[in-house]
């Protein structure tokens, strides 16, 4: 584990799996460090059923992030602690965003981020995730009635959520769900083909407690292994460090933990190695409204996936 790697990817979540695959695919020796478990290949037989089934949004591997809203209400910031990250427990819907936003980013100097430049990469991601659309016979009457009612109120029906030229509308988003109803996460999509390549090492249950900086440059990471018996974190060196630990985990990794947390120990003291003005600003969570509706017992129930 302490051998030097070309790249250490901190966080084997939705983005981390894709990043690691691209790097390993280019010939680099890559180490992926994931705080949650790594259940291996899609066919390993070790994946929990609730993470595979797209019928529900499971909470078994949730990080447990909680907060308070502007009105004092309790908020849950659902994040999945497992290889594949949130792609292993979310609704598996896929959208590409509005092209105007990407073009605005490019206009500010982000080279390569215009909508036309990003389009081929979205297509590649769609193929990797096996995106598909629901067929008419797979839609429930409640779903079709809802869309019809919204259109009746004047909102446009959207039939292509993968177009960056779209406008506000309502429709059925494409999904990364197999015909058998399995949620197809990014670990399946990006890591499985490289697990036996010799260029990719995935370690689950590993907590990154800080980044090693030398002369202002990241040269490694401090880690605790699953047993947490070592008195101090181990140092793993790498030529490059990629932080992909999520909106909450990435800033935490940039703290140099003076006293690393241990089981039954007081909360650790952190000294930030690097700060950015944008951290913690403008955080937005996708709005969601759950509606529970009883269905007639004689209503056909096609697969959630399917």
**How large is the average pLDDT for residues 119-127?**
95
Residue-wise pLDDT tens digits, 96-112? 989 999 999 999 999 99
Cα angle at 180 between 177 and 181, to 5 degrees? 45
Residues 6+ apart with CB under 8 A from 125: 18
Q: What does the pLDDT read at residue 267?
A: 43
**pLDDT-derived band at 306, boundaries 50, 70, 90:** very low
- State which H helix or E strand residue 117 sits in: helix 115-128
Strand pairing partners for 272?
255
**Global pTM value:** 0.86
- CA–CA distance, 26 with 120 (Å, rounded to integer): 19
pLDDT band, very low/low/confident/very high, at 68 (cuts 50, 70, 90): confident
Residue 202, token pair as written in the block: 């995935």
d(CA 296, CA 93): 26
Q: Report the largest interatomic distance among the alpha carbons of the chain, rounded to a whole angstrom.
A: 69
Tens digit of each residue's pLDDT (9 = 90 or more) over 245-260 = 998 888 888 775 533 3
User: Taking the CB of residue 83, how many other CB atoms lie within 10 A of it?
Assistant: 30
Torsional class of 124: left (φ above 0), alpha (ψ -120 to 50), beta (otherwise)? alpha
Which burial class, exposed, middle or buried, applies to 50 when counting CB atoms under 10 A from its CB (0-12, 13-18, 19+)? middle
Mean pLDDT of 41-61: 96
Residue 184 scores a pLDDT above 70 = yes
Q: What is the CATH number of domain 1-91+182-306?
A: 3.50.50.60
CB-side exposure of 53: number of CA atoms within 13 Å? 10
pLDDT digits (tens, 9 = 90+) for 254-293: 775 533 333 333 344 456 666 667 766 666 777 777 777 7
Domain ranges of the chain: 1-91+182-306, 93-175
CA distance 24 to 39: 20
């Amino acid at each position: 584990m302490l051998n030097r790697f070309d790249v250490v990817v901190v966080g084997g979540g939705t983005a981390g799996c894709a990043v690691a695959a691209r790097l390993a695919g280019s010939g680099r020796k890559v180490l992926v460090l994931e705080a949650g478990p790594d259940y291996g290949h899609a066919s390993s037989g070790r994946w929990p059923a609730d993470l595979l089934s797209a019928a529900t949004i499971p909470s078994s591997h949730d990080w447990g992030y909680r907060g308070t809203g502007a009105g004092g209400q309790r908020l849950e910031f659902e994040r999945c602690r497992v290889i594949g990250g949130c792609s292993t427990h979310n609704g598996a819907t896929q959208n590409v965003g509005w092209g105007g936003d990407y073009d605005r980013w490019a206009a500010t100097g982000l080279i390569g981020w215009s909508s036309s430049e990003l389009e081929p990469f979205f297509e590649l991601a769609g193929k990797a995730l096996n995106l598909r659309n629901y067929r008419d016979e797979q839609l429930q009457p409640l779903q079709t009635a809802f869309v019809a009612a919204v259109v009746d109120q004047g909102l446009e029906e959207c039939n292509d959520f993968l177009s960056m030229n779209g406008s506000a509308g309502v429709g059925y988003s494409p999904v990364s769900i197999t015909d058998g109803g399995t949620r197809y996460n990014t670990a399946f999509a990006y890591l499985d083909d490289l697990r036996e390549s010799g260029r990719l090492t995935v370690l689950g249950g590993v907590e990154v407690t800080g980044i090693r900086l030398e002369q202002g440059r990241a040269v490694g990471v401090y880690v605790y292994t699953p047993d947490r018996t070592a008195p101090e974190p181990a140092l793993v060196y790498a030529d490059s460090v990629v932080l992909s630990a999520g909106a909450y985990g990435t800033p935490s990794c940039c703290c140099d933990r003076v006293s690393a947390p241990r089981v039954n120990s007081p909360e650790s003291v952190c000294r930030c190695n690097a700060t950015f003005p944008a951290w913690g600003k403008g955080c937005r969570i996708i709005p969601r409204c759950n509606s529970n509706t009883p269905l007639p017992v004689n209503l056909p129930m096609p697969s959630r996936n399917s």
